[in-house]
Amino acid sequence: MEPSHRIAVLGAGSWGTTFAKLVADANAAAEVILWARRDEVVQEINELNTNSQYLGDIVLPSNISATSDIAEALVGTPLVVLAVPAQSLRAQLEAVKGHLEPDVSIISLMKGLERGTDLRMSQVISEVLELTMDQIAVLSGPNLAMEIARKEPTASVVACSNSERAAWIASSLVTDYFRPYTNNDVIGVEIGGIVKNVIALAVGICDGKGMGDNTKASVITRGLAETTRLAMALGGQQETLSGLAGLGDLVATCASPLSRNRTAGRLLGQGHAVQDLAQHMTQTAEGTKSAAAVLHLARENKVDMPITEAVVAVLDGTLTVDSMANKLLGRQLKSEGIPS
């Protein structure tokens, strides 16, 4: 595959803008087009080379330009990056249809399950755009946007069923601060990125309740176990969940104050209502949207996920945050083994 000279990134939130910056740094000769929904964001990026709502005063590379016209962003573009909210993906893709190059490569940055269908984002993309799965890659790992925007060293995983395409995409993302690895386990990589948001909510709730590091480490460890059980039940590989897209992403999301899901959990632990989270956060915590779909998928596949079940109960209002720890620790004694 030839290098891309035009790359489109759809979604100008913190992660989409950061990824556009990364792609621009990695491909100095390429034109990077960033699609934004709001005209004022387009204007700021084009005139000031900043997206201050999400990245403060960080200056974007000069080879990034923005547009609010999806068709304009996609024309002649062999590599398209999707960074829109998971629950709005299907509607956004309807606007994308008919504007893609025949052998386009899609990168999904989204970490969520579609509510109502329990579909992973790669499955939604394939279904709506009528693309084969070997045209779709997913990127995941310990990827806190602000740290990457500041060029702090980071590793990640590009997963695609087509190994050649995965390698080509990864080669398009290499910088002196970003190291992409490749993997063909799309299921494992996506499930790791989805469920870690739910586990981070649980860790945040523990933090908001003033619980100690022993408690939070226990939740993280057992959270990894239930994430692995679900991934394996769906056909993913256990080794993937021990790597960057599993353990790495989980630790970063559960431990960092930059994590939206940990922050949302902490607010819940401090007594804020679910419906009030938007007043305290500039972006959506995806775990609050996907948790019920994760639990439904687990039950459909007969996978035991007690932490996820407790988080969903808190979000539904059927379990108080005060009762959550007792629910997690009051289970039948058993072996620690992950697959069981």
Ramachandran quadrant class, 10 (left: phi over 0; alpha: psi -120 to 50; beta: rest): beta
Token pair 């933090």 in the structure block, residue? 207
Mapped onto helix, strand or coil, the DSSP state of residue 66 is strand
Helix ranges restricted to H, 142-247: 145-149, 163-171, 186-208, 213-233, 238-241
Rounded CA separation 76/149 (Å): 27
Mapped onto helix, strand or coil, the DSSP state of residue 337 is coil
Rounded CA separation 234/9 (Å): 29
Overall size of the chain counted in residues: 340
Taking the CA of residue 302 as centre, how many other CA atoms within 13 Å lie in the half-sphere pointing to its CB?
Answer: 1
How does DSSP classify residue 237?
A: -
Mapped onto helix, strand or coil, the DSSP state of residue 43 is helix
CA dist 223 → 45, 67, 214, 313, 322 (Å): 39, 40, 14, 16, 19
Instruction: Name residues whose C-beta falls within 8 Å of residue 49's C-beta, 6 or more positions apart in sequence.
Output: 59, 60, 61, 62, 64
Rounded CA separation 161/279 (Å): 40
Q: Active-site positions?
A: 196
